[in-house]
Chains A and B, each alone.
Chain A
Amino acid sequence: MGSKSMFKYLLRRFIFLLVTYIVATTIVFILPRAIPGNPLSQILSGLSRVAQANPEAIRAAERTLMEEFGLGKPWYVQYFEFITKALRGDLGTSITFYPRKVIDLIIPVIPWTLILLLPATIVAWILGNSLGALAAYKRNTWIDKGVLTTSLIVSQIPYYWLGMIFIFLFGVKLGWLPVQGAYSQGTIPNLSWSFFVDVLKHYIMPFASIVVSAMGGWAIGMRLMVIYELGSDYAMFSEYLGMKDKRIFKYVFRNSLLPQITGLALSLGGVLGGALITEIVFNYPGTGYLLFRALTTLDYPLIQGIFVILIASIYLANFIVDFLYALIDPRIRLGQEA
């Protein structure tokens, strides 16, 4: 019974995942074709402006693009080709970095984003939840009020603006840390100790700005969750039974953490697209920075490619979360979704 319901549940989630992915890629497909002012002609006129030196290269680029956009073919053929290519990881050719493939441009920048965001997301989660639980435990004391007020304000600071403030304070005014990039200009990434230290120095500010701005939201959520849980029947009942506060709190804490774990999993899924602008502010060579460069040069194949990758990674993470959650909580796979 257990495994059967699990299978049915997963199948349902998988179909939803597939439908969602097709809807999203369809949007990516339709937009450039639906919006007046054919982007392809823009691209081509832009191309001829950029690379006057080599007319042969332009003609080659034109041919590649015509072929990739499938112009001249009926729309359903174009659509079918687009979707199947996207599913295979063929995202076309970049214009700005012609003739490099979009996928080859995206793959090398992903590690930088992951290195920055995975630890930042997890650290923010741990700190935020601890603070939130502490505030709820010390409800209506100055600790609670302090944590709540700071969290409310900090959670509303745009993460990139906090990054700008950090650059100004610790980079420009105090001169403690380098103000941009992932490593010093001119150095070539290698496995030496000095390179590691260099990377670490460049890492601190973007990391800290993401952690600080994400912490507040977790703290507010956790505090609220614990307060709700403390008012629930089992917590009240334990209290009437004379159970020690500390012990009740332990149970309450564990139960409150469950939804926060879902939240963590979801934000881990969104990690690739999570702090696009931090990378722009710090000139940090990740997916956000690549997207920014693609946007400023209107490199549509690259823009679309990044979207397909980001969206796929987010949906996949969603699916994994659903799976893990069904493992932990049988009520979900038995079809009592909220």
Chain B
Amino acid sequence: MFRTMIRPLFKNKKFIIGFSIFLFFLFLGIFGPMFYRVDPTEMTWDYEQPPSSAHPLGTDTYGRDVLAQLLHGIRSSLYIGFLAAIISLVIGTIIGSFSAVKRGIVDDVLMGITNIVLTTPSILIAILIASYLKVRSVEMVAVILGLFQWPWFARAIRAQLMSVMSREYVYLSVMAGYSDLRLVIEDLIPTIATYAFMSFVLFINGGIMGEAGLSLIGLGPTQGISLGIMLQWAVLMEAVRRGLWWWFVPPGLAIVAVTASLLVISTAMDEVFNPRLREE
């Protein structure tokens, strides 16, 4: 697997660039708060200060250090993104592969559900659910977001597996008496591995963007710091109209950098593994 999958990826320039940028932010999120040991919630009298040596990215209206908020924000936004992505991936894989393997009524019911969730605007339902929860943990926000972004993936998985199911080696396994579960795990899952990984990357993206959107309208995690919560405070305190650029520019840039790098990674994978897109 290493030879056939990983190595060609690292020959792709786009992939290397996207991957490096993402790794950089991943490290910032994981190790940043360990090295820059400033409490992001500590309020000081040094409020609304532009960047200086004491506060590399300045402070907000409550005198909280923006760099410390940014590092913690990257950490929790990535965490929410990962968690939401795992939830979406698991739901999508289960529904998609069950539909493809069981066919018949199971397929009809599962695809019916999938289509309903697909047509319902997920961010609206997420807003609605979040508005009824008085206390929202970071994990809960991830669950709310993860619950709604799987349908297109489930449909793609189902379509792909349907075509795999008609190949000879699958027939052989069926004749050999494989159980459905063994069939899925040994014969089917490996064929969708790259596609699943690409989708996983985009799910992280969706989670990060979703958190930012929810938080901005005041429905993000009720405790802690995230990139979205930073933006929310900046909007609430009119940071934009009062020209406090160091407050709202960094979190937005971080969101763009992380999500764009993930999109580049997924596009590059598409190019490497999809012969029609390969550059001649």
Contact = CB atoms under 8 A, between A and B. Distances in A.
Given A20-B116, A227-B276, A227-B277, A338 B159 contact: yes
Contacts of A307: 124, 128
Interface in B123-160: 123-125, 127-129, 131-134, 159
A201 B256 CA distance: 28
Contact of B276 (A171, A228, A276): A228
Interface in B243-275: 243, 245, 248-249, 252, 255-256, 259-260, 263-264, 267
Given A160-B216, A164-B240, A37 B260 contact: no
B124 A31 contact: no
A300 B245 CA distance: 35
Contact of B243 (A19, A140, A172, A315): A172
Nearest to B129: A31
A231 B116 CA distance: 34
Interface residues of B, number: 47
B166 to A, nearest CB: 17
Contacts of A155: 260, 263
Nearest to A276: B217
Contacts of A23: 116, 120
B124 A273 contact: yes
A179 B241 contact: yes
Interface string A42-72: 0000000000000000000000000000000
A310 B280 CA distance: 46
Interface string A12-43: 00001001100110011001100101010000
A133 interface: no
A20 B241 contact: no
Residue among B128, B243, B276 having the largest count of chain A Cβ atoms under 10 Å: B128
Nearest to A19: B116
B147 to A, nearest CB: 12
Interface in B100-134: 112, 115-116, 119-121, 123-125, 127-129, 131-134
B121 A314 contact: yes
A164 B252 contact: yes
B279 interface: yes
B91 interface: no
Nearest to A179: B241
A328 interface: no
Contacts of A19: 112, 116
B252 A161 contact: yes
Interface stretch (A91-99, A244-252, A257-265, A291-299): A291-299
B252 A167 contact: no
A180 B240 CA distance: 11
Given A153-B256, A228-B276, A158 B116 contact: no
Contact of A172 (B217, B219, B240, B252): B240
Contact of A157 (B242, B243, B256): B256
A171 B219 CA distance: 28
Contact of B213 (A31, A165, A179, A277): A277
27 contacts: A19-B116, A24-B120, A24-B125, A28-B128, A31-B128, A31-B132, A35-B133, A155-B260, A157-B252, A158-B209, A158-B212, A158-B255, A160-B216, A165-B252, A167-B240, A172-B241, A172-B242, A179-B241, A231-B276, A273-B121, A291-B127, A292-B217, A295-B131, A304-B128, A310-B124, A314-B119, A338-B159
Interface of A: 16, 19-20, 23-24, 27-28, 31-32, 35, 37, 39, 140, 152-153, 155-158, 160-161, 164-165, 167-168, 171-173, 179-180, 224, 227-228, 231, 270, 273, 276-277, 280-281, 291-292, 295-296, 298, 300, 303-304, 307, 310-311, 314-315, 318, 338
Interface of B: 112, 115-116, 119-121, 123-125, 127-129, 131-134, 159, 205, 209, 212-213, 216-219, 231, 234-235, 240-243, 245, 248-249, 252, 255-256, 259-260, 263-264, 267, 276-277, 279-280
Given A31-B129, A158-B209, 18 more contacts: A27-B128, A28-B128, A140-B279, A153-B260, A155-B263, A156-B260, A158-B212, A164-B234, A168-B243, A180-B241, A227-B276, A231-B276, A295-B127, A303-B128, A303-B131, A304-B128, A311-B124, A314-B121
